[in-house]
Amino acid sequence: MNLSDLLLLLHEDFRKSFRVGRVKGKRTEQKSTLRRFFPVIGGTLVALFIIWIITTIVPLFGWPFVAELISENLGIGATIFNAILLFSFIGSIMVSASTVGNSSKMEYVLIMPISMRTIFLEKTIYVILYNSILWQLVGVSIFIGLSIASSSLFAFLSIPVFVVLVLGVITIGVSLGGLLGLLFSKLLAGRRTLKQIGWFLGSAAAIVVSVFYYYAIYSSDSGELFQWLFAITNALGFSSDMTPGYAVSALSLSVLVGVPIRIQDVLMGLVFLLGGVFLVYLNAVVSEKAHYSGWLASGSKRTSAKLESLSHATWNPQPIPGFTFNQTVSVSIWYNIASIRREGRVLAQYLVGPLRFVIFLILPVFAVGEEAMIFTPFLILAALIPFAISYGVYFAGYEIVYEGKNIMTLQLAAANMADYIKGKVYSAVPFVIAATVIISVIIIIIDFSLLPYLPAVAIAAVFINVASGAIAANAAAIGGDFKAERIITRQRGSAVQQPIRGWSIVRAQVIPYILGYAGVFGMLGIGTLVGAVQGALIGILSVYIFLPIYAAICYFLFRRYSHSAGVKLAQIEASKYL
Amino acid sequence: MIEALELTKKFTEFTAVDGLSFHVGAGEIYGLLGPNGSGKSTTMRMLLGILQPTSGTARIMGHGIANEIVAAKRVMGYVPEEPVLPERLTGWEYINYVADIWRIQRGPEREEEIEELLTLLDIRDASDDLIETYSKGMARKIGLVAALIHHPKVLILDEVQAGIDPRGAATIKEIMNGLRDRGASILMSTHVLEIAEQMCDRIGIINQGKMIAEGTMDELRLQAKGHSSLEEIFLSLTGGPDMQKIAEFLGEIA
């Protein structure tokens, strides 16, 4: 391993990701100075705000009080730092495997006179530094603020201690996550179907567990939310003084408040730092092994067997049984479903992922307490909307971008791009119907009296889905990062960076949610209101009178935005890719 | 100098390269020809250390690719068939990045050389643009500048002239001839058989990962009796077009 090579690789990776200087070339689209400096300005403002808040509030309580609070609660600090480790671990399970799997996209680096190990080491370090930006920004700002407020002579020394130790904690998390992903890859190497099922089940389990985790937080008595959280983390050993988080907490906070540092904490900090260095190096060694051994190879269909003559009829797959589409729509549906199905992890993210939205949107209501429980059936009904919308946004919006340059090189020039978009939108519908069936069964079990409303909501969900898909596809055509597939930190299905950027992602997500919730709650609200005045039957009927109007609005939006997205994509193809 | 000895690369059910041996001497251009999927790029990727051979080995200027790959890569330049370059760097930044990695001393001399190469390949005007804005031909030219900037003793070129404008192609041809005259070993693959015939001192034809013919043009003519052009030799060895199927197809669309 050569340190100067490592630093050069890191320098160029950061230059690619955080370019603030203007590109001089005439062919390159110029970004405004504000846009180029936005991350720097934004980060600085956030840091200044945090420092200002702390230096304003701490004097109100007095430094001795705050110092005592800090030194008596090192366990809480340990919990927070161990949580950072856990986040880094969970968020990095696919990182090393993705880097190795996508090594063909960095061939220009692989041919450089640098060992493969150094290359993979640099990629892991890059991810560690990238992941630490947020924690360092917030953490360093807090430590600067507290150091200003502190009466301790050496308080400012806590800042470098914090920086180094948090980097160590994130290094442990990212390296362990990366090693776990590589281990899965090794176990499943060459077993493509098993690998996809494994990724699907693993990803789905992670989503469901995280959903239960949030559910547990929300369903606890709201006033004791944090006590409950700390009790759980204590039980899990997060506040234990034998954890990396405790070492960060004990060393950085002790320096901050000026209390004597225990030698065992120093030793533990050193052990964890060295452990981090060892793990990141081990990650590079295993990545190198994985690269050369083809653990991540997707399994060629080519064989050395004798040539067989093949004949092809005109390809028109018609992948949704019972429906006939024109060839462009049909191929688009097939391609979308086939490409998503090939990546079990992405399929799980897409199909089970909306559970998170359900938790964020619906369950806070339960935090109110028992009185909110009367809304339960309606809330479960409303839980269908995130599925309908997310499937539209993922299958049409995200996939348009992830398909990226492929769309432009699939020789689709002769095809109607609006039809291609419609195919992507339609590809989500079978999954929305499946989600609707599951949720309908749950609702019938919970409250049978809602049965008359179910068909209306189910039909509305399908229309919301197609409208959402078209709106998201249009947003993708405006602000999609079509180069996304080439960047390590923007892998398909990754949460690191959205495939649709800027205001376009807001447009892709928020407008469908407004449309979905306004429509369904409007429909149910009319039904409930009219039912209260005119009787239940008239109430239900009024829902079904409203439904066609709402469906027509959704269908209009679907037509309009799929056409608009198609035109925009055709323009991109003609201007950027021809 | 390149020496490949019984190079073999097997994927799960597929043998891409099967016991390939060849030698490219100093001051020699060696053409590796073969149909699509015959194992040319896999062979090159093994020589470059991107892939590890399943068996067999190779030496680049005496450095074994198994245990001295970094030393081997230091003397090699490579232009892939589809250059995957850092799209968010400008051409100028990328070339300087490569120069830094190869430890070429920074300074006016280096800048002048980069300028010279960029101008030679008609890419100077675009060198301040992000690589993502480049056409395929421009990307290949930048890839060639990157391969040449460290004065490689061994040059591996995979379809380097594909997608390049005629002037660029002629320039590349002259550069390759010049490098050969200065003692470089050049391994190139191409599907343009006229180029191979004109430029290569020796040619190896591979099919399904195996070397099926090797030698100078005269030696190849002797091996494929009755055929005089490289195209005829190539088609006689690897199989020509299926004239009956072509006639059937043309009949269908008539």
| Interface-testing mutation among B97, B106, B148, B149, with chain A (most A C-beta atoms within 10 A) | B97
As given in the structure block, the two tokens for residue B168 are: 């660029």
Share of chain B above pLDDT 90, in %: 50
Q: How many CB atoms lie within 10 A of CB B86?
A: 21
Q: How many CB atoms lie within 10 A of CB A241?
A: 16
A interface residues, B as partner, C-beta within 8 Å:
5, 8, 12, 15-17, 19, 23-28, 104-108, 110-116, 190, 292, 294, 297, 299-300, 302-304, 483, 486
As given in the structure block, the two tokens for residue A462 are: 């399908």
A256: Cβ contacts below 8 Å, ≥ 6 apart? A70, A143, A146, A147, A150, A152, A155, A158
DSSP code, position B206? E
For residue range A268-292, what is the model confidence (pLDDT) as tens digits? 899 999 999 999 999 999 999 988 8
| Contact yes or no for A473/A425 (Cβ under 8 A) | yes
> Contacts by A372-376 with C-beta closer than 8 Å and gap 24+?
A376/A446, A376/A447
Mean pLDDT of chain A: 81
3-state secondary structure of B5: strand
Residue owning tokens 């301790």: A152
A166: Cβ contacts below 8 Å, ≥ 6 apart? A81, A84, A132, A135, A136, A139, A248
B13 with A304: Cβ contact below 8 A: yes
pLDDT of residue A232: 61
| Residue range A368-388: mean pLDDT, rounded | 72
pLDDT of residue A493: 47
Asked if B80 reaches chain A (Cβ–Cβ under 8 Å), the answer is yes
| Interface-testing mutation among B9, B13, B48, B95, with chain A (most A C-beta atoms within 10 A) | B13
Asked if B37 reaches chain A (Cβ–Cβ under 8 Å), the answer is yes
Identify whether A301 is part of a domain: no
> Same domain, yes or no, for B66 and B156?
yes
Asked if B17 reaches chain A (Cβ–Cβ under 8 Å), the answer is no
A302 with B37: Cβ contact below 8 A: yes
Whether A397 has a pLDDT exceeding 70, the answer reads: yes
> Same domain, yes or no, for A481 and A333?
yes
> Same domain, yes or no, for B169 and B63?
yes
Compute the distance between CA of residue B77 and CA of residue B253 in angstroms, rounded to an integer: 46
Q: How many CB atoms lie within 10 A of CB A278?
A: 13
| Contact yes or no for B236/B223 (Cβ under 8 A) | no
Identify whether B221 is part of a domain: yes
Confidence category of residue A201, pLDDT binned at 50, 70, 90: confident
pLDDT of residue B232: 80
Whether A488 has a pLDDT exceeding 50, the answer reads: no
Mean pLDDT of chain B: 88
pLDDT of residue A553: 95
pLDDT of residue A227: 58
pLDDT of residue A489: 43
Highest mean predicted confidence (pLDDT) among A356-370, A405-419, A478-492, B220-234: B220-234
Residue owning tokens 């960076």: A497
For residue range B106-150, what is the model confidence (pLDDT) as tens digits? 999 999 999 999 999 889 999 999 998 888 888 989 999 999 999
> Same domain, yes or no, for B156 and B67?
yes
Share of chain A above pLDDT 70, in %: 82
A16 with B126: Cβ contact below 8 A: no
Query: How far B218 CA sits from the closest chain A CA (Å)?
Result: 32
Domain count, chain B: 2
Nearest CA in chain A to B75: A113
Compute the distance between CA of residue A143 and CA of residue A162 in angstroms, rounded to an integer: 8
Query: How far A178 CA sits from the closest chain B CA (Å)?
Result: 21
pLDDT of residue A313: 67
Residue B20, beta-bridge partner list: B7
Compute the distance between CA of residue A16 and CA of residue A18 in angstroms, rounded to an integer: 6
Compute the distance between CA of residue A99 and CA of residue A179 in angstroms, rounded to an integer: 12
| Residue range A156-166: mean pLDDT, rounded | 93
**Per-residue CA distances from A122 to A14, A135, A214, A556, B74 (Å):** 11, 20, 35, 50, 19
pLDDT of residue A159: 93
Structural domain that includes position B106? 87-149
Q: Is the dihedral of CA B82, B85, B88, B94 positive or negative?
A: negative
A355: Cβ contacts below 8 Å, ≥ 6 apart? A207, A208, A211
Compute the distance between CA of residue B98 and CA of residue A113 in angstroms, rounded to an integer: 10
- Higher pLDDT among residues A160 and B223, named by residue: A160
Identify whether A120 is part of a domain: yes
> Same domain, yes or no, for A105 and A204?
yes
Highest mean predicted confidence (pLDDT) among A334-343, A476-485, A500-509, A518-527: A518-527
Smallest Cβ–Cβ distance between B50 and the set A24, A107, A297 belongs to A107
| Contact yes or no for B183/B201 (Cβ under 8 A) | no
Neighboring chain B residues of A113 at a CB cutoff of 8 Å: 70-71, 73-74, 101-102
Identify whether A19 is part of a domain: no
> Same domain, yes or no, for A179 and A49?
yes
> Same domain, yes or no, for B245 and B169?
yes
> Same domain, yes or no, for B9 and B129?
no
Whether A194 has a pLDDT exceeding 80, the answer reads: no
3-state secondary structure of A522: helix
| Residue range A373-396: mean pLDDT, rounded | 81
> Same domain, yes or no, for B173 and B248?
yes
Whether A302 has a pLDDT exceeding 50, the answer reads: yes
Smallest Cβ–Cβ distance between A25 and the set B69, B97, B130 belongs to B130
Neighboring chain B residues of A17 at a CB cutoff of 8 Å: 88
Identify whether A300 is part of a domain: no
Confidence category of residue A404, pLDDT binned at 50, 70, 90: low
> Same domain, yes or no, for A348 and A459?
yes
> Same domain, yes or no, for A260 and A376?
no
B11 with A19: Cβ contact below 8 A: no
Give me the sheet containing B63-64, strands edge to edge. B15-24, B2-10, B55-60, B63-64
Identify whether A186 is part of a domain: yes
> Same domain, yes or no, for A280 and A336?
no
> Same domain, yes or no, for A132 and A276?
yes
> Same domain, yes or no, for B58 and B165?
yes
Confidence category of residue A223, pLDDT binned at 50, 70, 90: very low
Compute the distance between CA of residue B30 and CA of residue B200 in angstroms, rounded to an integer: 5
pLDDT of residue B146: 94
Q: Which of B92, B44, B39 is nearest to B65 (CA)?
A: B44
Identify whether B82 is part of a domain: no
Residue A6, beta-bridge partner list: none
Smallest Cβ–Cβ distance between B86 and the set A12, A110, A111 belongs to A12
Whether A487 has a pLDDT exceeding 50, the answer reads: no
> Same domain, yes or no, for A211 and A358?
no
Neighboring chain B residues of A302 at a CB cutoff of 8 Å: 11, 13-14, 37
Residues 110-139 of B with CB under 8 A from A: 126-130, 132-133
A519: Cβ contacts below 8 Å, ≥ 6 apart? A460, A464, A550, A553, A554
Share of chain B above pLDDT 70, in %: 99
Neighboring chain A residues of B88 at a CB cutoff of 8 Å: 16-17, 19
Whether A224 has a pLDDT exceeding 60, the answer reads: no
End-to-end CA distance of chain A: 42
Asked if B54 reaches chain A (Cβ–Cβ under 8 Å), the answer is no
pLDDT of residue A204: 78
- Higher pLDDT among residues B127 and B161, named by residue: B127
B37 with A294: Cβ contact below 8 A: no
- Out of B96, B117, B149, a domain closes at B149
> Same domain, yes or no, for A221 and A269?
yes
| Contact yes or no for A99/A123 (Cβ under 8 A) | yes
- Higher pLDDT among residues A277 and A321, named by residue: A277
> Same domain, yes or no, for A230 and A91?
yes
- Out of B119, B149, B179, a domain closes at B149
User: How big is the A-B interface in CB pairs under 8 Å?
Assistant: 102
> Same domain, yes or no, for B56 and B103?
no
Compute the distance between CA of residue B237 and CA of residue A430 in angstroms, rounded to an integer: 52
Nearest CA in chain B to A12: B97
> Same domain, yes or no, for A151 and A267?
yes
pLDDT of residue A165: 93
Domain count, chain A: 2
For B234, the enclosing helix (H) or strand (E) is helix B230-238
Phi-psi label, residue A275: left if phi above 0, alpha if psi -120 to 50, beta otherwise: alpha
Share of chain A above pLDDT 90, in %: 27
Query: How far A576 CA sits from the closest chain B CA (Å)?
Result: 8
> Same domain, yes or no, for B107 and B172?
no
| Residue range B147-156: mean pLDDT, rounded | 93
Identify whether A270 is part of a domain: yes
Whether A415 has a pLDDT exceeding 90, the answer reads: no
3-state secondary structure of A532: helix
Identify whether A546 is part of a domain: no
User: Mutual orientation of helices A192-219 and A354-362 as an angle, nearest 10°?
Assistant: 0
pLDDT of residue A504: 86
B88 with A116: Cβ contact below 8 A: no
pLDDT of residue A161: 93
The one-letter code for the residue type at A35 is R
| Contact yes or no for B46/B53 (Cβ under 8 A) | yes
By CB neighbour count within 10 A (0-12 exposed, 13-18 middle, 19+ buried), where does B23 fall? middle
- Out of B149, B181, B198, a domain closes at B149
Distance of CA A77 to the CA centre of its chain: 26
Compute the distance between CA of residue A395 and CA of residue B250 in angstroms, rounded to an integer: 40
> Same domain, yes or no, for B179 and B62?
yes
What's the complex ipTM? 0.88
**Per-residue CA distances from B191 to B32, B210, B232, B248 (Å):** 10, 17, 13, 26
> Same domain, yes or no, for B67 and B96?
no
Identify whether B65 is part of a domain: yes
> Same domain, yes or no, for A248 and A343?
no
> Same domain, yes or no, for B131 and B164?
no
Identify whether A414 is part of a domain: yes
Residues listed for chain A: 578
For residue range A27-75, what is the model confidence (pLDDT) as tens digits? 777 777 877 888 889 999 999 999 999 999 999 888 888 888 888 888 7
pLDDT of residue A400: 85
Identify whether B81 is part of a domain: no
Query: How far A166 CA sits from the closest chain B CA (Å)?
Result: 29
Comparing A15-24, A509-518, B40-49, B54-63, which segment has the lowest mean pLDDT?
A15-24
Structural domain that includes position A84? 3-10+33-293
